[in-house]
Amino acid sequence: MAEHTKCLIIGSGPAGYTAAIYASRAGLAPIMYQGPQPGGQLTITNDVENFPGYPEGIQGPVMMQDLEKQARRFGTDVRYGMVTSVDFSVSPKKVIVDDTQEILADAVIISTGASAKWLGLPSEQEFNGRGVSACAVCDGFFFRNQEVAIVGGGDTAAEEATYLANLCKKVHMIVRRDELRASQIMQKRVTSNPKIEMHWNSSTDEILGDDSGVTGVRIKNNVSGETTVLPVTGFFVAIGHKPNTDIFKGFLEMDEAGYIITEKGSSRTNIAGVFASGDAQDNIYRQAITAAGTGCMAALDAERWLAENELH
């Protein structure tokens, strides 16, 4: 038996929970399915120090628990479960949860986020949050005046290496080829920075550490086969992100990387009544605070759309 709701939120995290807070306070009685990682990427982030309102910082999982409690307080029906397929060609929109439960939603807010791409090393996950990070802007501050490494060769890696160089004593940039894929201006910025040491034709062999966290990284030269240990306390992975948007392909307009395209200055997608927020549509900032902001936008846009179409 299909269940009907005025507002369905797909995914949690700062975007989804903020959308839920605004939607529930607007009387939309939203249903939220949290997805495979309730709370999103911040649940694997130890310390969050750049979200306003927490002068002493806060642990990522605690912050997500607080946001969930706030959403529940105003009446959001928060549920475990993962949306496995959608049909946005009909109205109300049809959404299938865990391949079994059918939900019919007048408005849908997408906040499925994006996942960092990892190298696939066991040690990478072992030290994730203890020296290994996929976000220099989020975690670079913890490594100020220390020696760190970053792997990647595109614009994101170049930008993050430059950012880290402003904070850290030295930045080792590990590039698997003999050139960067980054734009010319970013290449020049990186290679001319005296605090950034380039390691060309190199791959990460192993991340080294102990109970205190990362103590070094062993890299291998792809040409000579020679291995070198870099004495770093931080290891940043900057090889890209993958938006969690595959189930929406064929319905929503996306860029070549799979990020959902929204109308400028809004959360509206190419399908009326479907709104996108957070990292699923943001390939630039990818911060908790910007995700929360777009979650607010999505809820307000959904509320207005429902009212305009007399579905409130």
Which of 77, 99, 106, 138 is an active site residue?
A: 138
How big is the CA angle at 130 (ends 150 and 195), to the nearest 5 degrees? 30
Which of 139, 279, 282, 301 is an active site residue?
A: 139
DSSP H or E stretch at residue 60: helix 60-73
Is pLDDT at 17 greater than 90 in this prediction? yes
Q: What is the pLDDT of residue 41?
A: 79
% of the chain at pLDDT higher than 70: 100
Is pLDDT at 248 greater than 80 in this prediction? yes
> Among residues 56, 88, 72, which one has the least CA distance to residue 16?
72
Q: What is the dihedral of CA 224, 227, 228, 230, to 10 degrees?
A: 120
Q: Is 139 a catalytic residue?
A: yes
Q: Is 279 a catalytic residue?
A: no
Question: What is the pLDDT confidence band of residue 207, given thresholds at 50, 70 and 90?
Answer: very high
Amino acid at 246: D
Is pLDDT at 258 greater than 90 in this prediction? yes
Question: What is the pLDDT confidence band of residue 49, given thresholds at 50, 70 and 90?
Answer: confident
Q: Is 138 a catalytic residue?
A: yes
pTM listed for this prediction:
0.85
Arithmetic mean of pLDDT, 122-143: 93
pLDDT tens-digit readout, 67-106: 999 999 999 999 999 999 999 999 999 999 999 999 999 9
Question: What is the pLDDT confidence band of residue 281, given thresholds at 50, 70 and 90?
Answer: very high
